[in-house]
Structure 1
Amino acid sequence: MRVVYTLLLLICSIAVHAQYTVTGVVKDGTTNSPLPFASIITQDGTIIVGDLDGKFNVETQTRQQELTISYTGYENKIIKLQAGKNFYTVKLKIKPQELNEVVITQTDAGSQIILHAINRKSLNDPQQKLNSFRYKTYNRLIITANPDSLSGKIDSVFVYEKAGRILEKIDSTGFKFKKLIEKQHLYQTEKVSEYNYTKNEGLKENILATRMAGFKEPIYEFIGLQLQSYSVYNNIDLLETKYIGPLDNNAFTEYKYHVLDTVSIDNRETYMIYFTPKRAKKKKRLDGILYIDRATFGVAKAVFRVKNVLDINSTHYFKFEKDLNLWFPDKKTLKIVKGNNKQDINILGETIKFDAIDETSIPREKEASDFVYVYSESINSEKEFNIPLVIKNPAIAIEIKEEAISRPEEYWKQYRTTTLDERSLNTYPALDSLVAEEKIEKLVKLGKRVITGYLPLGFFDLDLRQIVKYNNYEGFRLGLGGITNKKFSETFRIGGYGVYGTKDGEFKYNLGAAVRIGKFSDSWIGGSYTEDVQEIGSTNFATDKRVFKIYDPRPINVSTFYKYWRWQAYLETKIIPKTESRWSFNHTAVDPRFDYVFNVNDRLYSSYTLSTFEGTVQWNPFSDFMQTPEGRTEVEKRFPKFTFQYTQAIKGALDGDFNFSKFDFRAEYEKKYINGQKTSIVVQTGLALGEIPITHLYSTSPNNLDKDGVIARITFAGKNSFETMYFNEFFSSQYGMFQFKHALRRQNLFWKIKLTPVLVTRTVWGNMEHQERQVGQPYKTLEKGYYESGLELNEIFQGLGLTFFYRYGPYHLPDFDRNISIKLSFVLKLF
């Protein structure tokens, strides 16, 4: 899946085909520096705006004789166009008498205009002013290149030896690429959506039609991506990177503003205001132009530019609705080309590395791929305002019906503003044939399943997590497992596993089945039987996502387990908005595999039976979700997220031995910064009341071996475990844990050696009620609070890293080295 994303965004340069094209650059005549967003006026009065680097591109249907170049504070200049010359460097002279006035007054004027625009957002932002609206959008995204920008020559590649120059091969790459791009685009998608909004229920996108070249069934995760911000009045999102918006309430701390000109849009006068970050050397910066209505101070047009690893131009067009006295979104365009910065950038969930060219790079001859670009255009129609509107399933931000992937050509024609050209028409059959021949669609689906830990084998998905594991009790845990998929049945599933421990010499297994009782809510009711082992004192939330790991580092060191035999009946559902939940009844026989008895009312239990009800709810209230024919997925992850779990053991029910209650809670928060840093916080608590044995109490995830010497204790670090706490050292019947992590930007050390420094602090408080009941297993309690801090140096080489932690506070140990933990870390990125 991510491979497809990468191909869509590894893009390079842009050229636009028109009948008559003139390009150039506007510069300051004295400093020779580019003048951003200059105005270029054609003979027929059309105004074209240059970009951040002063470059402009004029496309007309008729040949122009001259162009007028205008820039605030500079003298206008008319250039005569010459036959056969397509590029012009235009240098403007400053108006000497207006220099000081322009620099001061125009900047102040720009700030005053923006201040008015910010103060009037409630009157100009459609989502604040209108009670409801509805409209349809046609979107088309292509990856292509301009054939005229490619030389298409066949090169001779030589090698040089003592005998002289020797022909090695004929390189026809550029020639073949030009021939290909003359016939078709490299990639193409289309989408028709209906947007519905009410103040009470928010904004929802219903995708009415979608098609991706080469795919019978589209990649829904890609279809649901929002590459551009919906609104220009809030923070700006571009390709999963957030920027403070130029109309944000705190925008003046980030930007400075300059009035460039006044222009007419939709027969209304607007201020053309250039905004740029106050910090000139800011690495991830947003520049652009806002066209502010002189009467309403609403946005009539907005241009956003990010120039980094990627060179992104996002343009929002608005149409003035006279009856509403409001500028309403009419069109959006997005152009992505290769940037000139060597810094890595996070795009669509992964870090993409670019062979970008900057001023210090050794010049190289451009390749065919340097001329490839991405272009997206969205056009709105059928607008309705302040109408009675009820949004069905408002908690779902994007919904795709099954019929959306099989619309006939006649359906598409009614929403396209122009007929597809020959290259566009050729793209679909060409890519359909290529994808089928290379089996790309099958590979994408395979990748999506492998990420969750399954390998599809016909109607059965092999569970990759069950093949091999290791821990100190079982030794190597070898086995097979899996679950049936929709080829077997869409409403019924069978799953299970069988494993063998080479050290304990015992066979464990699970077998279960379930029936789907709700498709939209993805509700299943089922049952299972399991005979297996479990780490004592562990806390597992039943709704935690399956993520495939080649290895799970922490369990490698665990040696204290209990064996259990469990019958389970369960219901899992997503029927509650923005949640997923699991509800189960369990009948479990427990046999501790260590020296332990549980003392209840002077009766000693070396083994026991538990009858428990368990309910778990994962709630992500701020995230956006997408409903597809394949199910529901989280497309925009936002924080905080919350998990609640309640467990109740019932004495006497099916011979249950004890009564107890457990309340578990977890809150997660994460913030990514524009400069590449990231902060994450986890708060987790647990409360156990009643007759509860140590097997089901809390050990708060220790991950340190009880051995002498720092070197002897080196193992692999966990994700959220206490690296200096020894296994079975502390147990609690109630606890509160806090973890803080701050990841700095990835650092280059030397050669190919890089690392990501992460600062970590963890602390936990706990208490143990009725300590006299736990007999045989030695432990300490956490009333005074446990503290550790450290540094993770992740991904130093080939995914390997090092972590260093130190234990301090009330439970600091007398021997200094016993408080130190050094571990290996490993990050494996499959996709």
Structure 2
Amino acid sequence: MKRGLIFIFLWMFVFGFSQSKLTVINEAKGTPIPNAIISCNDKFLGKTDDNGFLEFKSKCKSIQIKAANYFKESAIVEDEMTVTLINTSSKTQSIETVILEDKSDPKALEILRKVNQFFKSNSPQSLDSYTYKSYDKISLDIDQDSISVYTEIFNNNFNLFKKQKAKDSVNDVSARRIFSKSKLFLWERAQEYLYSKKYGEKVNILDNRISGLKQPIYELIALQGNRDKIPEQIKPENRGLYRFYLTDTIEVEGRKNFVIRFREVSYKKNVKRRKFSGYLYIDIDTYGIKKIESISKDKNDGNITSTWIFFNNKWFLSEESVKLRMSRMMMNNTESTENSENHLKKHKNSFGTYAYLSSKYFDYESPIEENQKDFKGYTFTVKNADGKTLQKYRTEPLSDREKNTYFVIDSLGKNTM
């Protein structure tokens, strides 16, 4: 099992150096920007030519683009990239920059103060009892928009990959083969939540299956997202990490909401964790959290969304969706000898890989009949772990790639154990 896990989680480190093509243009005019400086962690990679074009090699996941009289921009490294820069004379960007460097909007902070003040009374655990279920799906895969292109390139170059086994690791070729038909990793989980003021909380794992593993990873079972806890962006102790601005009021599902924009404060020193910006939707009547949208500061880096539903006058978590950039996979064709013209016409051959999380909550009931025996034992109890009953809880059918993941990865796991 350990050998199988090592293969699954270390595959991303074998796809390193690759060649990228970048075009930098003026966002307002659509014209190329020459002499734009491209760097990675303060290391100079090159300058764009008169056509705003630069071809470079780098192991970096993201780059910084800087040009005279333009605002600095960053971007995730892809095989082919087009980055737009905004001129410093842009009134919109100038106003936004002043705002972002200012302190948080006092009105937004007052709303957040009330969100924290009423969080317990808005929480489901202020009820005497309740129950609901959830279905979670976690996977590692190529960006959904790139799947068809990846499959085509892999099929066209499969014979080449077989010839390259002497040069490339077997794991390298195997990982490419897996991605042509399935995801690299898939984990499904169905849970039942029980709560009683008298007996506490109980979480039953109704069913659970992880591709390639016969036993569940119990450390992962305890992951619960924003369920029944104050989100990081709203905690009072994190006020110094974000800037908040009240931007609008809108109606969502028949209820009026404040819309608050937030972003992380820009630090002079490098910060390892991802920087997100996004929006908070706060119910005007109850100051309960309706929705949080977090969007990556760097293009294509990922997004996180949590949504709540108003049930029995409380705010229950309804849905969570996470997409986070993991690494870049390169489909090399080292045996080809192409001239510069053919090289420019070559298909896109590097692909971003992502971790995906999708959680859906349903079957809310409150109050419930409280039976002490239902709350005995550990907080988390695994009732089933073979995946045979997951069909009862799936909120939508598995895709063909997801179905293939169980077959392909489970077969691979047997061969490596």
Q: 1:136 to 1:315 in 2, by over 3 A?
A: same
Which of the numbers 378, 401, 405 marks the counterpart of 2:385?
405
Match of 1:371 in 2: 352
Q: Is the 8 A contact 1:143 1:374 kept in 2?
A: yes
Q: Which consecutive unaligned segments of at least 5 residues does structure 1 have? A: 13-24, 33-52, 54-85, 158-166, 237-244, 341-365, 440-831
* Structure 1 residue 330 displacement after superposition: 0.8
TM-score by length of 1: 0.33
Aligned mates of 1:99, 1:2 — CA distance in 2? 49
Q: 1:395 to 1:306 in 2, by over 3 A?
A: farther
Which of the numbers 367, 374, 378 marks the counterpart of 1:396?
378
Aligned mates of 2:100, 2:139 — CA distance in 1? 42
The equivalences for 1:48-63 within 5 A come to none
Q: Is the 8 A contact 2:199 2:375 kept in 1?
A: no
Q: 1:329 to 1:5 in 2, by over 3 A?
A: farther
The 3-state SS of whatever aligns with 1:94 is helix
The equivalences for 1:663-682 within 5 A come to none
The equivalences for 1:704-743 within 5 A come to none
The equivalences for 1:265-414 within 5 A come to 265-278=252-265, 280-281=267-268, 283=271, 284=273, 287=276, 288-304=278-294, 313-321=303-311, 324-338=312-326, 371-390=352-371, 392-393=374-375, 396-401=378-383, 404-406=384-386, 408=388, 411-414=389-392
Q: 1:229 to 1:300 in 2, by over 3 A?
A: closer
* Structure 1 residue 188 displacement after superposition: 1.3
Residue 194 (1) aligns with residue 195 (2):
no
Q: Is the 8 A contact 1:228 1:314 kept in 2?
A: no
Q: Which one has the bigger strand percentage?
A: 1
Q: 1:101 to 1:6 in 2, by over 3 A?
A: same
Match of 1:431 in 2: 409
Q: Is the 8 A contact 2:104 2:243 kept in 1?
A: no
Aligned mates of 1:394, 1:90 — CA distance in 2? 60
Which of the numbers 204, 207, 219 marks the counterpart of 1:206?
204
Q: Partner amino acid for 2:92?
A: I
Match of 1:561 in 2: none
Q: Partner amino acid for 1:397?
A: T
Aligned mates of 1:100, 1:285 — CA distance in 2? 23
Aligned mates of 1:205, 1:269 — CA distance in 2? 33
The equivalences for 1:462-477 within 5 A come to none
Q: 1:255 to 1:406 in 2, by over 3 A?
A: closer
* Structure 1 residue 367 displacement after superposition: 7.6
Q: 1:104 to 1:10 in 2, by over 3 A?
A: same
The 3-state SS of whatever aligns with 2:234 is coil
Q: 1:266 to 1:2 in 2, by over 3 A?
A: farther
* Structure 1 residue 179 displacement after superposition: 5.1
Q: Is the 8 A contact 2:200 2:375 kept in 1?
A: no
Aligned mates of 1:396, 1:299 — CA distance in 2? 30
Q: 1:337 to 1:218 in 2, by over 3 A?
A: same
Match of 2:52 in 1: none
Q: Is the 8 A contact 2:190 2:205 kept in 1?
A: yes
Q: Partner amino acid for 1:383?
A: Y
Q: Is the 8 A contact 1:11 1:374 kept in 2?
A: no
Q: 1:398 to 1:286 in 2, by over 3 A?
A: farther
Match of 1:255 in 2: 242
Residue 112 (1) aligns with residue 110 (2):
yes
Q: Is the 8 A contact 1:182 1:423 kept in 2?
A: no
* Structure 1 residue 226 displacement after superposition: 0.8
Q: Is the 8 A contact 2:103 2:243 kept in 1?
A: no
Q: Is the 8 A contact 2:11 2:175 kept in 1?
A: no
The 3-state SS of whatever aligns with 1:416 is coil
Q: Partner amino acid for 2:413?
A: V
Aligned mates of 2:319, 2:257 — CA distance in 1? 18
Aligned mates of 1:9, 1:319 — CA distance in 2? 39
Match of 1:419 in 2: 397
Aligned mates of 2:157, 2:286 — CA distance in 1? 58
The 3-state SS of whatever aligns with 2:92 is coil
Q: Is the 8 A contact 1:335 1:376 kept in 2?
A: yes
Q: 1:101 to 1:437 in 2, by over 3 A?
A: closer
Mark the structure with the bigger radius of gyration: 1
Aligned mates of 2:283, 2:196 — CA distance in 1? 25
The 3-state SS of whatever aligns with 2:233 is coil
Residue 224 (1) aligns with residue 221 (2):
yes
* Structure 1 residue 306 displacement after superposition: 7.8
Aligned mates of 2:264, 2:96 — CA distance in 1? 24
Match of 1:511 in 2: none
Q: 1:201 to 1:155 in 2, by over 3 A?
A: same
The equivalences for 1:73-84 within 5 A come to none
Aligned mates of 2:387, 2:314 — CA distance in 1? 34
Q: Partner amino acid for 2:370?
A: L
The 3-state SS of whatever aligns with 2:203 is strand
The 3-state SS of whatever aligns with 2:112 is helix
Aligned mates of 1:11, 1:385 — CA distance in 2? 45
Matched-pair identity in %:
23
Q: Is the 8 A contact 1:232 1:302 kept in 2?
A: no
* Structure 1 residue 312 displacement after superposition: 6.2
Higher RCO structure (Cα 8 Å, ≥6 apart): 2
Match of 2:127 in 1: 130
Q: Partner amino acid for 1:413?
A: Q
Aligned mates of 1:248, 1:405 — CA distance in 2? 35
* Structure 1 residue 131 displacement after superposition: 2.1
The 3-state SS of whatever aligns with 1:437 is helix
Cα deviation per residue 1:327-385 (whole Å; 9 max; x = unaligned)?
A: 32111122232379xxxxxxxxxxxxxxxxxxxxxxxxx986x5222212111111112
Cα deviation per residue 1:712-760 (whole Å; 9 max; x = unaligned)?
A: xxxxxxxxxxxxxxxxxxxxxxxxxxxxxxxxxxxxxxxxxxxxxxxxx
